[in-house]
Every structure is written in structure tokens, then in C-alpha cells.
């Protein structure tokens, strides 16, 4: 069993993929973790895996678009484990095939994607600052390489680019206010998760997951697609005291995708 490091972290979208891996890595390094997901059963499964290893976790159903549910999550974290010291805004949607600007329903798709990928991150950051401004802490917002380059659809690109600059703005704001709160964004390349595998359904020139995997593989000079732990380890670093001089930065973990 890992010894306590007195850190308490909230991980949204923790029921699968990057969020699940992040919750597990944080627990393994001693943090108490609140795992939230709109899929309550998935969040509970992640929490149970952590608990079975003798580590500390709590699961909660959360719609990250709800301000009231953000209040509930932070209150539960404090009640069970103590004041929150870290927030990982990981929950998000891909928007693949939905946000074509010129087509019918494009505005509705834009608003739906933004509400989860950007507005909800803003809500989480606001609540985290309110809770951590006296005690200090760290916020990590999961963006994407598509927050740095175009190509994934206007709404997705704009939402993830917005997360990048929101994170920088929060870092500057907290510094000016004298809050001991750091804020950074993480930009994964293509990580072989259920969300990525499902985009095959919206691609005209790719029919199978195997074809999708080969197409994406060619875009990453490192010679493989990412694993959720690749991102989780980066998040763990940014939440740790080892990153005490890191704020307002973007950590690109993309296997060289943006270097081509």
C-alpha cells in the first residue's frame, strides 16, 4: 500500500481511457482520488480497482456541465478525504462527424461540444480556485494536439484551443492574486482509447478499427500510438511538488505528431 502524500485529487471522466489511467496512477503515488464520470457504473469500477489495491478512492456520478454538481463533488471530496489539492479536467467528447460548419445542425453541435469541452472546464477551474486559493493546489486541463493544430473539426479544435489559453489565463490570474495555484494544460496525441476507436464510425475512407489504427500510427514518428498511462504519468508530474515551478505551460505528449 502506498503511503499517503496528503494530496486529494478530483479526476473527471475517470470511468475509462485517460481519466481511468490518471486516477489509478495518482492513487498509486499516494493521492486520495475522487473519480467522477457521467457513467456512474464506470466511475465506480475505476474506484473499486483502486480500493482493491489498498488505495483511497471515491466514485461519483457527475455531469460536468452542472455547476451544482461541481459543488457536490468538491464537498464530497472534502468530507471523505480533506481539502482538494488537485483537479484534472479530463471529461470531454470528440465531436467527430458532428460539427460541420455549413450543414444543418452545425450550430447545435458546436454549442454541445463547447458546453462539455470548454464551458465545463471553466466551471471546474472556477470551483477549484474558490476552494484552493487559501491552501494552494494544482489544476491540469486535458486539451489535445488538436488544440494546437487544425484538422479535427471546428468545434473540437476551438474547444481544445480554448482549454489551452484558459489554462494560461488562470495561471496568470492566480499568480497576480497571490494564490498558490498552478494551472497547466496537457496535449495528448492519438491515444488508443474507446473515444478514439469510435471515430471510425464517422470516417468515410476508413472502415475498421485496424485501418484506423494504421492510419493514425503513420502520423506519430515515435512509431506507436499513445497509451493512457503515457498521459497519466504527465498529469501526475504536473500535480506533484516536482512541478512547483511549472504553470501556464502546455505539456505536449504526442509521440511527435505535432513535429511533422
Evaluate whether residue 205 is within a structural domain: yes
Task: Note down the domain range covering 100.
Answer: 8-250
- In this predicted structure, the answer to whether residue 203 has a pLDDT above a threshold of 70 is no
Give the other-Cβ count within 10 Å of 157's Cβ.
19
Compute the mean pLDDT over every residue in the chain, rounded to the nearest whole number: 92
What is the rounded CA–CA span in Å between residue 46 and residue 48? 5
Evaluate whether residue 173 is within a structural domain: yes
Write out pLDDT tens, residues 170-185: 999 999 999 999 999 9
Give the other-Cβ count within 10 Å of 104's Cβ.
7
What does the pLDDT read at residue 190? 87
What does the pLDDT read at residue 201? 62
What does the pLDDT read at residue 80? 98
Evaluate whether residue 256 is within a structural domain: no
**203-to-111, 206, 209 alpha-carbon distances in Å:** 22, 6, 11
Average pLDDT for residues 199-225, to the nearest whole number?
Answer: 79
Residue 130: pLDDT band by 50, 70, 90 thresholds? very high
What is the rounded CA–CA span in Å between residue 162 and residue 158? 6
- In this predicted structure, the answer to whether residue 205 has a pLDDT above a threshold of 80 is no
246, 184 Cβ separation under 8 angstroms: yes
DSSP 84: -
Evaluate whether residue 108 is within a structural domain: yes
Write out pLDDT tens, residues 142-161: 999 999 998 878 999 999 99
Evaluate whether residue 257 is within a structural domain: no
225, 213 Cβ separation under 8 angstroms: yes
What does the pLDDT read at residue 2? 56
The C-alpha angle with vertex 87 and arms to 85 and 92, in degrees rounded to 5, equals: 175
Active site residues: 156
Name which of 41, 37, 40 is nearest 14 in CA terms.
Answer: 37
What is the rounded CA–CA span in Å between residue 67 and residue 76? 15
Evaluate whether residue 3 is within a structural domain: no
60, 33 Cβ separation under 8 angstroms: no
What is the rounded CA–CA span in Å between residue 260 and residue 216? 13
Residue 1: pLDDT band by 50, 70, 90 thresholds? very low
Average pLDDT for residues 83-88, to the nearest whole number?
Answer: 98
Cell of 224: 506507436
Evaluate whether residue 260 is within a structural domain: no
Evaluate whether residue 93 is within a structural domain: yes
Write out pLDDT tens, residues 230-260: 999 999 999 999 999 999 999 999 999 999 8
Write out pLDDT tens, residues 217-231: 888 999 988 999 999
Write out pLDDT tens, residues 42-65: 999 999 999 999 999 999 999 999
CATH code of residue 15: 3.40.50.720
Number of domains in the chain: 1
Q: Is this prediction's pTM over 0.85?
A: yes
Average pLDDT for residues 75-79, to the nearest whole number?
Answer: 98
Average pLDDT for residues 123-131, to the nearest whole number?
Answer: 98
What is the rounded CA–CA span in Å between residue 221 and residue 17? 22
Average pLDDT for residues 67-94, to the nearest whole number?
Answer: 97
Give the other-Cβ count within 10 Å of 215's Cβ.
14
Average pLDDT for residues 125-130, to the nearest whole number?
Answer: 98
- In this predicted structure, the answer to whether residue 200 has a pLDDT above a threshold of 60 is no
Provide DSSP, 131-160. Answer: HHTTT-EEEEEE--GGGTS--S-HHHHHHH
What does the pLDDT read at residue 98? 67
Name which of 202, 196, 205, 228 is nearest 14 in CA terms.
Answer: 228
Give the other-Cβ count within 10 Å of 89's Cβ.
31
Amino acid at each position: 500500500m502506498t503511503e499517503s502524500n496528503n494530496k486529494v485529487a478530483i479526476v473527471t471522466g475517470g470511468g475509462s481511457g485517460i481519466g481511468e489511467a490518471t486516477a489509478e496512477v495518482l492513487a498509486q503515488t499516494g493521492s486520495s482520488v475522487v473519480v467522477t464520470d457521467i457513467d456512474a457504473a464506470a466511475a465506480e469500477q475505476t474506484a473499486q480497482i483502486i480500493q482493491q489495491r489498498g488505495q483511497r478512492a471515491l466514485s461519483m456520478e457527475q455531469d460536468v456541465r452542472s455547476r451544482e454538481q461541481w459543488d457536490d463533488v468538491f464537498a464530497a471530496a472534502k468530507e471523505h478525504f480533506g481539502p482538494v489539492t488537485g483537479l484534472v479536467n479530463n471529461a470531454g467528447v470528440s465531436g467527430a462527424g458532428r460539427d460541420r460548419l455549413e450543414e444543418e445542425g452545425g450550430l447545435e453541435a458546436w454549442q454541445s461540444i463547447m458546453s462539455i469541452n470548454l464551458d465545463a472546464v471553466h466551471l471546474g477551474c472556477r470551483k477549484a480556485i474558490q476552494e484552493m486559493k487559501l491552501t494552494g493546489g494544482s489544476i491540469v486541463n486535458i486539451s489535445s494536439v488538436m488544440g494546437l493544430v487544425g484538422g479535427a473539426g471546428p468545434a473540437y479544435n476551438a474547444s481544445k484551443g480554448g482549454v489551452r489559453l484558459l489554462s494560461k489565463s488562470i495561471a496568470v490570474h492566480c499568480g497576480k492574486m497571490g494564490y498558490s495555484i498552478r494551472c497547466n494544460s496537457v496535449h495528448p496525441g492519438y491515444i488508443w482509447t474507446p473515444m478514439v476507436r469510435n471515430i471510425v464510425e464517422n470516417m468515410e475512407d476508413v472502415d475498421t478499427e485496424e485501418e484506423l489504427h494504421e492510419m493514425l500510427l503513420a502520423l506519430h514518428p515515435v512509431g506507436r500510438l499513445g497509451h493512457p498511462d503515457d498521459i497519466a504519468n504527465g498529469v501526475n508530474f504536473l500535480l506533484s511538488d516536482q512541478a512547483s515551478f511549472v504553470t501556464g505551460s502546455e505539456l505536449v505528449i504526442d509521440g511527435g505528431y505535432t513535429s511533422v
